[in-house]
């Protein structure tokens, strides 16, 4: 498994939509009023997590228009053309998973013999997923992580799982509608308050612990958390964890100019990637929502700037949410 070993040694390489300047790299010193304990920012606390009784449920998203793209009236971070223009898009009715796919759910696909680790050899080898047996950052097969989101999965692995479950990956437009509703809001919960760890498991570099150490990646946990843990951050349709925790693969190839030319009804993504894949690499597919390692500035429902990876790429911040046509 030559590629697997290469992947493990380079596991900390993050995809480009998460690479941003750390806001802590300035000369602003924290004052006593900035010091917030970790217990204050985790909501609910990881130790009091109650497993949702409807893991595996899907939420119905009704047919109709929604406002897609960066809404400059409420979002001052509409800096790149990839999120523009801001305009109405019609989406047919569909269903989407209420929670990110958990390791327990994915394990059933593994047990069925459908979800496999890899196939092929050498340069032709394709890796679909990795477990804790392969890398310590992976949730699958890690004790006590049955209700954590499945991570360390490629687009090809995510697609295989959703199809085994009788579903499919959502289109990018479906994902965005499920995340923000129809009114063009910046976050699933509205336009304010600003992103914080009460709502999202993210790279929150604005908090300092009582020991005056940075509470950053994963709101200080340096990790993903169980699904459905941030009840304040649900979307207008009641979908959980659409921002942060684990970034989610969607169906579409990436084209940073696609919004300028896409159809206004049920867009399926471009036929060709833009920029074109580097020689030797597969098509780039889009990931949405950000993860526990994503900086606050990119935790927005419209963010898609540079958020793409080859479809056979894996990372411990990448996971799955499935959809289904009505």
CATH numbers and ranges of domains, the chain: 2-17+30-325 (3.90.1580.10)
Mapping DSSP onto H, E and C, the string for 216-261 reads CHHHHCCCCCCCCCCHHHCCCCCCCCCCCCCEEEEEEECECCHHHH
Run of H or E including 3: helix 2-9
> In terms of C-beta density within 10 A (0-12 exposed, 13-18 middle, 19 or more buried), how is residue 19 classed?
exposed
Q: Per mean pLDDT, which range of 95-99, 158-162, 238-242, 284-288 is the poorest?
A: 284-288
**Average pLDDT along the chain:** 83
Least confident piece of the model among 33-37, 130-134, 164-168, 256-260 = 33-37
Torsion sign (Cα): 272, 307, 198, 43: positive
The two structure tokens encoding residue 65:
């228009």
Chain centroid offset of residue 284 CA: 16
Residue 63 has pLDDT above 50, yes or no: yes
pLDDT in tens, 238-280: 999 999 999 999 999 999 899 999 999 999 999 988 887 666 5
Confidence of residue 112 (pLDDT cuts 50, 70, 90): very high
| Cβ neighbours, 10 Å, residue 288 | 23
Report the pLDDT value the prediction gives residue 29, as an integer from 0 to 100.
30
Task: Give the DSSP H or E segment for 4.
Answer: helix 2-9
Lowest mean pLDDT among 96-110, 123-137, 145-159: 123-137
Per-residue pLDDT, 10: 41
> pLDDT tens for residues 2-30?
444 334 434 433 443 543 332 222 332 32
* pLDDT recorded at residue 179: 98
Nearest-Å Rg of the Cα atoms of the chain is 19
Residue with the bigger pLDDT between 287 and 309: it is 287
Q: What gap in Å lies between CA 129 and CA 276, rounded to an integer?
A: 25
Both tokens of residue 302? 């419209």
Among 145-149, 161-165, 193-197, whose mean pLDDT is lowest?
193-197
Highest mean pLDDT among 100-114, 204-218, 276-290: 100-114
CA distance 274 to 6: 27
> What pLDDT was estimated at residue 305?
62
Residue 38 has pLDDT above 70, yes or no: no
| 174 sits in which H/E element | helix 172-180
Crossing angle of helices 155-164 and 103-111, rounded to 10°: 80
Q: Are strands 58-61 and 94-97 parallel, antiparallel or unpaired?
A: antiparallel
Could you give the count of Cα atoms lying within 13 Å of 64 in the half-sphere of its Cβ? 9
For residues 101 and 248, the answer to whether their CB atoms sit within 8 Å is no
> For the segment 202-242, what is each residue's pLDDT rounded down to a tens digit?
886 554 445 544 555 788 788 999 999 999 999 999 999 99
pLDDT > 90: what percent of the chain? Answer: 63
- The pLDDT of residue 14: 41
Question: Rounded distance, CA 283 to CA 220, Å?
Answer: 34
3-state secondary structure of 36: coil
pTM of the prediction?
0.85
E strands along the chain, which residues?
A: 58-61, 64-68, 87-91, 94-97, 118-119, 126-127, 207-208, 214-215, 247-253, 284-288, 308-310, 318-319, 323-325
- The one-character DSSP state at 13 is P
- For position 34, what pLDDT does the model report? 29
């Amino acid at each position: 498994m030559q590629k697997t070993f290469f992947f493990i040694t380079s596991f900390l390489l993050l995809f480009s939509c998460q690479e941003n300047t750390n806001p802590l790299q300035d000369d602003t010193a924290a004052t006593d009023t900035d010091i917030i304990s970790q217990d204050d920012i985790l909501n609910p606390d990881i130790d009091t997590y109650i497993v949702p009784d409807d893991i595996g449920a899907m939420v119905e998203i009704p047919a109709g228009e929604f406002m897609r793209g960066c809404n400059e009236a409420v979002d001052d971070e509409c800096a790149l053309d990839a999120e523009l223009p801001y305009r109405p898009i019609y989406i047919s009715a569909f269903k989407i998973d209420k929670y990110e796919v958990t390791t327990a759910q994915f394990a059933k696909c593994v047990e069925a013999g459908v979800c496999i680790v890899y196939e092929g050899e050498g340069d032709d080898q394709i890796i679909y997923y990795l477990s804790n047996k392969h890398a310590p950052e992976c949730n699958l097969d890690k004790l006590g992580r049955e209700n954590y989101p499945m991570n360390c999965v490629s687009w090809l692995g995510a697609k295989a799982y959703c199809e085994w479950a009788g579903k499919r990956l959502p289109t990018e437009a479906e994902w965005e509608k499920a995340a923000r509703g129809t009114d063009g809001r910046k976050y699933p919960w509205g336009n304010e308050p600003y992103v914080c760890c009460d709502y999202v498991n993210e790279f929150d570099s604005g908090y300092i612990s009582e020991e005056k150490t940075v509470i950053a990646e994963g709101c200080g946990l340096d990790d993903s958390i169980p699904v459905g843990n941030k009840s304040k951050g649900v979307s207008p349709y009641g979908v959980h964890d659409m921002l942060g925790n684990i970034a989610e693969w969607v169906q579409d190839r990436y084209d940073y100019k696609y919004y300028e030319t896409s159809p206004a009804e049920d867009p399926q993504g471009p036929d060709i990637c833009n920029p074109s894949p580097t020689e030797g690499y597969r098509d780039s597919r889009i990931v949405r929502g950000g993860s526990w390692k994503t900086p606050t500035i990119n935790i927005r429902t419209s963010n898609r700037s540079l958020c793409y990876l080859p479809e056979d790429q894996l990372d411990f911040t990448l996971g799955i949410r499935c959809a289904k046509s009505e």
